[in-house]
A and B are shown apart, each in its own frame.
Chain A
C-alpha cells in the first residue's frame, strides 16, 4: 500500500467520491419507471452500458494515479483489468440490444439508424475494439506511437460515449448521466495531457 498513513481521511474521501459518482447513476437508473416495461435481457443490456460509462471514469483516474492504494504497477494492472471489463461491457451491451430488437441494432451497426445517438455509440464501440487490438500489439509498437494511439482512442471513446449517452432517452436519470459523463471526459483530458 502506498497510501500515506498520514492521510487516511483523504483516501477515504476520494474512494467515497468515486463510489458516489459510480453508484448514483446506477441507483437512479434502477429506479427508472421504464424498467417495468422491459425484459431482463434489455435491462441487462442497458445496465452494461451504464457500467461501461462508469469504467470510462475509472480508467483515467487510474492513469492519473488519483486512486489511493492503486499506484505504480498496481494502477497499471487495474487499468488493464478495467479495460478488459469495458470490452466485455460493450459486447454485452450490443449483444443484449441485438437479442431485444435485431433490426434496430442492424440499423445502428450499418449507420442507417433513425436515432441520432446510434452512430456515436457504434464509433465508440469500434474505438474500444481498436484499443484492445492496439493494446495487444503494444510490445511491437514504438512507445511514442503506442501512447499517441492509445490516448487518441481514449479521447474518441469517451467523447463519443458521452454524446451517445446524452442523446438517449432511456433508463438513466439525466443529471447523474451528464455528471458521470462530464467527469469521465474531464478526467480523460487531464490524463492524456499528462506527459
Chain B
C-alpha cells in the first residue's frame, strides 16, 4: 500500500508530463525537461497494481510465446544502463496478475535493452496490458503499465528512463 500511495504522489507532481508521456509511450518529453536532457519516465497510473516484491530472475515466465521488450537509460544523458533488473507481470493465458507464477524478472544487457519471454497476455480489467517495475533502489522506482494496441499482438515494449535515487 505504501508503494501505491507513493506512486500516486509522484504521479501528481509529474502532472501534465505524465499525460504526454502516457499517450506517446514516453517518446516525447516536456519542453522544460528537454532543456536539461532526457527526462525520467514517470510511473504510470495503475502500474504498481498486483506488484509482488522480489520476483526471481528467470529464463522465461511459464511456457513463453510472447515477448516483453524494452530499454533502460539514465535520465539526463540517456546513457544505456546495463545489468538493471526489470520485473514483469501480466494477466496471461497461464495465470492472473497476482499469481506468483505470472511474475518474473530479467536483466538489461550491455546496450541497456531487455527481453523476457512470457505467456501470451490476454485482456483483463478491460485492456490487454502488461506491468513492469524497476525497483532495485539505485535509481528511483518506476512502475509502467503499457497497453497493447491489439490483443492479438505477441509482443509489447516499455522503456525506462531512470533518475538516480
Residues of A within 8 A of B (CB): 34, 36-39, 97, 100-101, 103-104, 107, 112-115, 117-118, 167-170
Given A167-B126, A169-B126: A113 touches B45 (CB 8 Å cut-off): yes
A94–B139 CA distance with the chains assembled, in angstroms = 37
The answer to whether A169 and B128 touch across the interface, beta carbons within 8 angstroms, is yes
User: Is B91 part of the contact surface with A, judged by Cβ < 8 Å?
Assistant: yes
Q: How far is the CA of A36 from the CA of B122 in the complex (A)?
A: 10
24 contacts between A and B (CB under 8 A): A34-B122, A34-B123, A37-B92, A101-B50, A101-B96, A101-B97, A101-B125, A103-B4, A103-B46, A103-B50, A104-B49, A104-B50, A104-B125, A107-B46, A112-B11, A113-B46, A114-B46, A115-B125, A115-B126, A115-B127, A117-B126, A169-B126, A169-B128, A170-B123
Distance between A138 CB and nearest chain B CB, rounded to angstroms: 35
A103–B7 alpha-carbon span in the complex (Å): 13
Complex formed: what's the CA distance from A103 to B47 in Å? 10
Chain A neighbourhood of B48, CB < 8 A: 103
Query: Which B95-113 residues sit within 8 Å CB-CB of chain A?
Result: 96-98
A34 to B127, CA, bound (A): 12
Interface hits, B68-116 → A, CB 8 Å:
91-93, 96-98
Within 8 Å by CB of B45, from A114, A117, A167, A168, lies A114
Residue numbers of B with Cβ under 8 A of A are: 4, 8, 11, 22, 44-50, 91-93, 96-98, 122-128, 145, 151
Chain A residues with CB under 8 Å of B22's CB are: 114
CB-CB under 8 A from B124, the residues of chain A are: 38, 101
A115–B46 touching, CB < 8 Å: yes
Bound CA–CA A101/B123 (angstroms): 14
Tell me which residues across on chain B come within 8 A of A170, comparing CB atoms. Answer: 123, 126
Cα distance A106–B50 when bound, in Å?
12
| Cβ contacts under 8 Å, B93 to chain A | 36-37
Measured between C-beta atoms, what is the minimum distance from A190 to chain B in Å?
30
Contact A168 B126 (CB under 8 A): yes
Chain A residues lying within 8 Å of B127, measured Cβ to Cβ, are 115, 169
* Min C-beta distance of B127 to chain A, whole Å: 6
Tell me the bound Cα distance from A104 to B47 in angstroms: 10
A sample of 13 more A-B contacts (CB under 8 A), given A112-B8, A114-B145, A167-B126, is A34-B122, A34-B123, A101-B49, A101-B124, A103-B4, A103-B49, A104-B49, A104-B50, A107-B49, A114-B22, A169-B126, A169-B128, A170-B126
Which residues on the A side are within 8 Å of B46 (C-beta)?
A: 103-104, 107, 112-115
Chain B residue contacts of A114, Cβ below 8 A: 22, 44-47, 145
Q: Are A169 and B151 in contact (CB under 8 A)?
A: yes
The 9 closest A-B pairs by CB, nearest first: A114-B45, A103-B49, A168-B126, A114-B46, A169-B123, A104-B125, A37-B122, A115-B126, A107-B46
Nearest CB to that of B148 among chain A residues? A169
Contacts of A107 in B (CB 8 A): 45-46, 49
